[in-house]
Chain A
Amino acid sequence: MGAFVRVLASVKTALEGGAHREPNAHPGARVMPSAPVVAPAANRAALVSSFARELEAVGGHFTGSATPEGLSAQIIEISDRVGALTVAIGGDGSFDSEPVAGALEQSGRDVIRCGVTADEAARRALIERIARADLAIVEAQCAIASTGTLVVTATPARPSALTLIPQALLAIVRADRIRADAAEAIVALGAETIANHRVAFITGPSRTADIEKLIVVGVHGPKQLHALVLWPADD
């Protein structure tokens, strides 16, 4: 407590001794407007195509769009392409992930489901299993068209490890949740979500340019990033 008081006192003294004090709220100050999560339908196609273009530009793969009925088949096709034998799948999304998990199992794959673990040993064991997955599948909360970014929030059934540790990541995003830019995505996400979940903006596969500025993909996080756009049934 002592240190806090001391630092704050020096900050206060410094501000009061300074030339002028900034007004409390500057003209640009904005209160978070509450925007609908759903993007207007007219823009949707344009936003999807911009998202796809930007995703490819940062080394991601746009794997097209799917209807709810065709989703499982398309995910299996992507798993084939990636060569994934072990697939970790996250839940807590807008669609039921269980039919997808079942279809993946039927196709002969080992499927890791994420959820609450009984104890510390089980928790660690699940993280170890996720680490050995060839592919992870999660639904993104929303996406950003101007940068090809996927916005993923962490929940018990959709842990951060999923989007970080496996070799490849497939993110599914609903077409009506693709926002124009970061500002809109943050508004759509809302202070409530950010206050209660770890959130990651993911733009392309993990990369580095630390050796002579030469870009290498897959330094720590996923080496491949695939994104699939899901068109809701009412469209």
Chain B
Amino acid sequence: MASTHNNFDFFAASEKAIGDTELRRKLANASGHHLDAAARTRAEFPRYDEEREAARRIKAEAIGRLDELLLQLKQRLETNGCQVFFAADAAAARNYIVGIAKRNGLKRAVKGKSMTTEEIELNPALERAGVEVFETDLGEYIVQLRHERPSHILTPAIHLSKEDVGTLFHERFGMTYTNEPERLTAVARDNLRSIFMTADLGITGVNFAIAETGTLVLVENEGNGRFSSTLPDTFIAVMGIEKVIPRLADLSHFLEILARAGTGQKITTYTNFITCPRGHSELDGPREIHVVILDNGRSAMLADPVMREALYCLRCGACLNACPVYRRIGGHAYGYPYQGPIGSILSPNLFGSGAGFLPFASTLCGACREICPVKIDIPKMLLHMRAKENRNHLKWPRGASRARRAVARFARLAKRPRTVRTLSRIAAWMIRPVVRDGYVRWMPPPFSAWTRTRDFPAPKSAPRRKPKSGGV
């Protein structure tokens, strides 16, 4: 898979991000906000765990019957008047979509937030074909204006402060600087209104595709997804093969948990059901609907019994908010459109071995598994992928092999308690001049690598290695 995502230096990017205290403040603020709101909404909803179980059961069924459900979905969509295209990889999906734009002579595309279109790198392909592409989700609009990528699957501009957005709008639109979200949002609304009214192509993702009725379900808060799927004459929905659910009656279980897990709302502002193109006597709705159903590595995940469960993911974003690693390094450090714990699983599978380091970007604390509305066992998969990566072609970063040798040497030393005790005593005595309030604040190189960013607790006294008599 030729992709600009590859050859990304996760270690350099995460190290840089950790040093950015302002970024950490913004991430802690935003993800904390989501987590608190989500915990409150869930506490008020006694049926939450029941709905979670039901949703998980339905996903297991859907993934287990994926072949028949995809066939049924295709047939129903076609009966409803939609055109269906199956894309084996990102390039096939891009080419198909660019082909529609060329054939229909389309010039202006409005997009709802869609990580799948980020995955296939659709925007640059459309732009090369002469189509203007406008991201219309406010967060996506902001990151597009900054020529950045989203840093969170749910809140793309989570890494920016209101001051950053104020400065951006001031520079790009010449408006008087303000950091008031209301005024900034009003400017975006006005700018995008005229674009919505003149766009000839709408593109969005899909949250659920109901096989039974051939219905695409799109959830959102702003209304930009509704605009994109209502006003332009041509509408293209892009979905992974895993988005299909069997029956209409299954949907409510997902609606009850999705927003509660992600943003802490009971339900999102809009849930859009899109089934058929505009009828003869109708005023609006697209004349043409294309549904692009993307494999791009997903069937390979399906073939691996451990990885299969990752296809249950609803993209709610909860595991990002809960992840101690994500909350410190932010989304950009991951280098791929899917970030955080679930991103560390999806990216290596969808983008290839360039992302092979990502499963190591986790403390395996299990917060992601706890919070996941469909209970995906993310830590188990991360371990599975680590093992696979180690067996295959893992290139450790510079210094890592030295660290491994050092650990091996320590292991040998630790088997000789008397030597350890003696060395500890010597170390404690040597350190004494630099101890302040129980902490070592400075050490000479190479130990300075630690004390530059953290204090080291000073040994209280000579460490004891032998248990006390009668002790445990």
Contacts and interface: CB of A to CB of B under 8 A. Distances in A.
A196 B74 CA distance: 17
B67 interface: yes
B142 interface: yes
Interface in B185-215: 185, 188-189, 192-193, 196-197, 212-215
A54 B269 CA distance: 12
Given A11-B66, A212-B29, A218 B189 contact: yes
B213 A191 contact: yes
Interface in A107-122: 114, 116-117
Given A7-B293, A211-B185, A186 B248 contact: yes
Interface in A166-208: 181-183, 186-187, 191, 194-208
Contact of B230 (A31, A160, A208, A214): A160
A200 B266 contact: no
Contacts of B160: 211
A58 B265 CA distance: 9
Contact of A154 (B58, B67, B256, B285): B285
A214 B162 contact: yes
B283 A198 contact: no
B188 A15 contact: no
Contacts of A131: 193, 197
Interface stretch (A18-26, A76-84, A96-104, A227-235): A18-26
Interface string A147-160: 10100001110011
A194 B138 contact: no
B203 to A, nearest CB: 16
Contacts of A161: 230-231, 283-284
A212 to B, nearest CB: 5
Looking at chain B, what size class is its interface with the partner chain?
Answer: 35 or more
Contact of A220 (B30, B74, B223): B223
Contacts of B226: 160, 164, 200, 220-221
B282 A156 contact: yes
A37 to B, nearest CB: 16
Contacts of A41: none
Nearest to A160: B230
B364 to A, nearest CB: 23
Contact of A156 (B26, B255, B276, B283): B283
B149 to A, nearest CB: 15
Contacts of A207: 221-222, 269
A199 B139 CA distance: 26
Q: Which of A161, A207, A208, A218 has the most CB of B within 10 A?
A: A208
B185 A203 contact: no
Contact of A211 (B157, B193, B231, B266): B157
Given A22-B60, A117-B283, A196-B276, A15 B302 contact: yes
Given A14-B303, A221-B223, A210 B137 contact: yes
Given A187-B249, A201-B270, 18 more contacts: A8-B70, A15-B302, A22-B65, A32-B247, A126-B283, A181-B252, A194-B273, A195-B213, A198-B273, A200-B272, A201-B267, A203-B267, A207-B222, A211-B142, A212-B30, A216-B182, A219-B222, A221-B226
Q: Which 10 A-B pairs have the closest CB atoms?
A: A22-B64, A221-B223, A210-B139, A14-B303, A159-B283, A183-B252, A201-B271, A14-B302, A220-B223, A10-B299
Interface of A: 3-4, 6-8, 10-15, 17-19, 21-26, 28-32, 54, 58, 114, 116-117, 123, 126-128, 131, 144, 146-147, 149, 154-156, 159-161, 164, 181-183, 186-187, 191, 194-214, 216, 218-222
9 contacts: A7-B70, A10-B88, A15-B64, A114-B283, A116-B281, A160-B226, A182-B255, A182-B267, A210-B156
Interface of B: 26, 29-30, 33-34, 54, 57-58, 60-61, 63-67, 70-71, 74, 80, 84-88, 92, 136-139, 142, 155-157, 160-162, 165, 181-182, 184-185, 188-189, 192-193, 196-197, 212-215, 221-224, 226-227, 230-231, 241, 246-253, 255-256, 263, 265-276, 279, 281-285, 293, 295, 299-300, 302-303, 305, 308
